[in-house]
């Protein structure tokens, strides 16, 4: 019984510690979400809970109401970074999420505080638009309003940010390392850049004879249905009807795969794009641009 009580007390202490970094985020009608003071007046929350063109306010752990502004968004990871003067609210203790293992006991926190306990069920959720190694799957309940809150270990250290917007079928958390990378973009440049090629695409099935001739394992790719003038794709020479097979060696089987490849770190980088034109593969070097504000 002593061991069980020790564990119970440790979990309660972890919740008490971590709740000092947690704020309620009022960025949508009615139900607030949860946010975490990551560092230096930058608060992280779930992007889908902060509506565009809406005034955002925070409620601190002590009940204070604080104005906030959106400093950057990454819709692909469902992370928004807010900026606010949060004097008296300590910055979070971020753990090394590389130490996380399947089966580790974790807790999700919501503003209040509220808590839900479970385990890490998978370390690498590869679904559509998400790049490898960015999402953890967790076996616990994310109650309404928990999105954007911390996933913490038994010491109360943050290993991720929970979100119900990352997967339709799984309870997920964005790894702390991925969140920190986005926060550092805001610190360095004042925003999170959004990578941009300037193409409209849709999935297309590759004929078996073509796949066999070219030795392709993938059954689908994406076909270019529009190219914006003066875009990186236009500068590289892509045209309507080109079929994108891969970028930097990663197969592009559906439009979400393109989103996963075009992470903020890619802006300004040259990538090697393999396309099919007239049934023959060709390589196009493309320099990834930053999405214009109205693109």
Q: What is the pLDDT of residues 108-164, one digit of tens each?
A: 999 999 999 999 999 877 655 555 568 899 999 999 999 999 999 999 999 999 998
Where do you find CATH 2.30.42.10 in the chain? 195-290
pLDDT, position 167? 61
pLDDT in tens, 86-99: 999 999 999 988 88
What is the percent of the chain with per-residue pLDDT over 90, rounded to a whole number? 74
Please spell the DSSP secondary structure of the chain, one letter per residue.
-HHHHHHHHHHHHHHHHHGGGEEEEE-SSSS-EEEEEEETTEEEEEGGGS-TT--EEEE-TTS-EEEEEEEEEETTTTEEEEE---TT-PPP-B--GGG--TT-EEEEEETTTEEEEEEEEES----TTSPTTSEEEEES---TT-TTPEEE-TTS-EEEEEESSS-SSS-EEEEHHHHHHHHHHHHHHSS---EE--EEEEEEEPPHHHHHHHT---SEEEEEEEE-TTSHHHHHT--TT-EEEEETTEE--SHHHHHHH--GGGTT-EEEEEEEETTEEEEEEEE-EEPPTT-
pLDDT, position 126? 60
pLDDT, position 1? 52
- Across residues 51-76, what is the average pLDDT? 92
Give me the chain's average pLDDT, please: 91
Q: Do residues 273 and 247 make contact, with C-beta atoms less than 8 angstroms apart?
A: yes
Query: What does the block give as tokens for 51?
Result: 């509506």
pLDDT in tens, 194-233: 889 999 999 999 999 999 999 999 999 999 999 999 999 9
Res. 295: pLDDT tops 50:
no
**Domain covering 1-192: architecture:** Beta Barrel (2.40)
Res. 245: pLDDT tops 60:
yes
User: pLDDT higher for 262 or 273?
Assistant: 273
Sequence-distant (6+) residues with CB within 8 A of 119 are 102, 103, 104, 105, 106, 138, 139, 140
Res. 262: pLDDT tops 90:
no
Distance of CA 103 to the CA centre of its chain: 23
Sequence-distant (6+) residues with CB within 8 A of 212 are none
Was domain 195-290 assigned CATH 3.60.15.10?
A: no
Where do you find CATH 2.40.10.120 in the chain? 1-192
């Amino acid at each position: 019984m002593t061991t069980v009580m020790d564990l119970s007390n440790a979990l309660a202490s972890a919740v008490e510690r971590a709740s000092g970094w947690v704020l309620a985020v009022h960025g949508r009608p009615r139900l607030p979400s949860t946010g975490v003071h990551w560092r230096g007046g930058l608060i992280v929350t779930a992007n889908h809970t902060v509506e565009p063109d809406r005034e955002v306010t925070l409620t601190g752990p002590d009940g204070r109401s604080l104005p906030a502004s959106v400093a950057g968004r990454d819709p692909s990871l469902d992370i928004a970074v807010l900026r606010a003067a949060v004097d008296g609210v300590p910055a979070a203790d971020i753990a090394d999420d590389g130490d996380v293992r399947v089966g580790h006991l974790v807790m999700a926190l919501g503003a209040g505080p509220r808590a839900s306990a479970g385990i890490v069920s998978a370390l690498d959720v590869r679904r559509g638009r998400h790049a490898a190694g960015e999402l953890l799957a967790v076996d616990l309940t994310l109650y309404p309003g928990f999105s954007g809150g911390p996933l913490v270990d038994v010491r109360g250290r943050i290993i991720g940010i929970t979100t119900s917007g990352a997967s339709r079928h799984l309870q997920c958390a964005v790894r702390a390392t991925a969140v920190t990378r986005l926060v550092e973009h805001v610190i360095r440049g004042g925003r999170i850049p959004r990578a941009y090629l300037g193409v409209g695409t849709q999935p297309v099935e590759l004929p078996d004879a073509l796949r066999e001739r070219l030795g392709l394992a993938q059954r689908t790719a994406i076909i270019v249905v529009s190219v914006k003038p003066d875009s990186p794709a236009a500068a590289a020479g892509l045209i309507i009807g080109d079929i994108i097979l891969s970028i930097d060696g990663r197969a592009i089987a559906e439009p979400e795969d393109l989103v996963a490849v075009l992470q903020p770190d890619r802006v300004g980088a040259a990538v090697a794009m393999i396309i099919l034109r007239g049934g023959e593969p060709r390589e196009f070097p493309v320099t990834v641009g930053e999405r214009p504000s109205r693109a």
